[in-house]
């Protein structure tokens, strides 16, 4: 054995343990988000695009969207293991010449003793599997960063729909006693940026020279431990948020009503289209929206003043048409699909 045989095999053994820790936290996070998705499938809130209210959605679907990539990550992790968990034992120049005709048998025996696979050829200078492992961690952190970004935005004072779990002193400001900063989400974002910055380092380290690298190999030792530690830490923070998040359904409803019904303008237009025609329905609803905005009244009130609408619908029908809870489309079905995927990997 050469030094790199020992170092690479030790790294693989550590990666194996690290992946199992990552897998456990991914599974815990998935279960927590799935439970929140099921619990809040009927909690209506404003869906936002370009940071502006767009259409009604449910907080359950939002949690389901956070959870949706996780079964795929678990599958990627399981598939990755077969490629990365391989013994390295090839001797000074990758020939095992010192063992004569017994080289392959010794390599296979060592692999079996360590619970690793025996590679088809030495991988002293073939670093794809380790690069893939760190790239995988970078993708996982990308998923966590999306969750953390949403939580930070939902925590804003002006929004106030979701808060991180409260623990006395956690997230407190050193000068402003009233503050509860979303510190777990901030940790996740910092860790994600750190891991993703290490992915190019691993990809660059793939350019090894001849039968032993003269520097790229050593760069891996800078990247792999940090990537695993940061990813695992981010997963722990994400799981803490998912399990203990504080959801303010009343504030969600308050924010949903900020536009006095304008958020369901599409719903009204689609509801009127069968009787008025698509083009006329768009024209009528657009005019009602303009009136509501100009006069500061509810969309339902503006619609009631539209002759074309009043001729077809009474006030109760207009109120049903402008109820955000009545325009959630396939949210329940999407949640059920995510829950089914979670059960399949759990």
Tell me which residues are annotated as active site.
173, 212
Backbone angles phi, psi at 170, to 5 degrees: -75, 125
Concatenating the DSSP letter of every residue in 188-223 gives HHHHHHHHHHHHHHHHHTT---TTS-SSHHHHHHHH
> Strand 44-49 and strand 246-247: pairing?
unpaired
Buried b (16+ CB within 10 A) or exposed e, 300-321: bbbbbebebbeeebeeeebbeb
| Residue 55 · residue 70 · CB < 8 Å | no
| Helix, strand, or coil (residue 247) | strand
Q: DSSP class of residue 117? A: B
Burial class (CB in 10 A: 0-12, 13-18, 19+), 223: buried
Residue 274 C-alpha from the chain's centroid: 39
Give, in degrees to the nearest 5, the angle at Cα 279 between 277 and 281: 65
Count CA atoms closer than 13 A to 37's CA, side-chain side: 26
């Amino acid at each position: 054995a050469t030094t790199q045989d020992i170092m690479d095999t030790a790294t693989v053994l550590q990666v194996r343990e690290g992946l199992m820790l990552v897998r456990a936290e991914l599974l815990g996070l998935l279960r927590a988000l799935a439970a929140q998705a099921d619990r809040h499938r009927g909690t209506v809130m404003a869906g936002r695009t370009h940071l502006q209210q767009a259409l009604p959605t449910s907080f359950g679907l939002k949690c389901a969207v956070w959870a949706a990539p996780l079964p795929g990550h678990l599958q990627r992790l399981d598939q990755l293991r077969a490629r990365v968990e391989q013994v390295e034992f090839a001797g000074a120049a990758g020939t095992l010449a010192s063992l004569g005709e017994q080289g392959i048998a010794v390599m296979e025996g060592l692999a079996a003793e360590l619970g690793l696979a025996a590679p088809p050829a030495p991988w002293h200078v073939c670093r794809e599997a380790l690069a893939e492992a760190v790239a995988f961690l970078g993708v996982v952190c990308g998923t966590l960063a999306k969750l953390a970004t949403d939580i930070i935005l939902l925590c804003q004072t002006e929004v106030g729909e979701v808060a991180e779990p409260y623990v006395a002193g956690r997230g407190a400001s050193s000068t402003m006693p009233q503050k509860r900063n979303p510190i777990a989400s901030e940790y996740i974002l910092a860790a994600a940026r750190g891991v993703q910055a290490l992915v190019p380092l691993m990809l660059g380290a793939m350019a090894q020279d001849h039968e032993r690298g003269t520097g790229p190999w050593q760069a891996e030792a800078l990247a792999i431990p940090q990537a695993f530690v940061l990813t695992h830490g981010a997963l722990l923070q994400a799981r803490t948020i998912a399990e203990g998040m504080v959801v303010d359904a009343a504030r969600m409803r308050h924010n949903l009503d900020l536009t006095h019904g304008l958020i369901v303008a599409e719903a009204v237009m689609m509801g009127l289209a069968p009787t008025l025609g698509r083009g006329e329905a768009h024209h009528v609803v657009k005019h009602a929206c303009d009136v509501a905005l100009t006069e500061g009244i509810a969309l339902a009130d503006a619609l009631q003043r539209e002759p074309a609408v009043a001729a077809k619908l009474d006030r109760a029908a207009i109120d049903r048409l402008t109820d955000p809870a009545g325009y959630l489309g396939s949210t329940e079905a999407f949640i059920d699909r995510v829950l089914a995927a979670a059960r399949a990997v759990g």
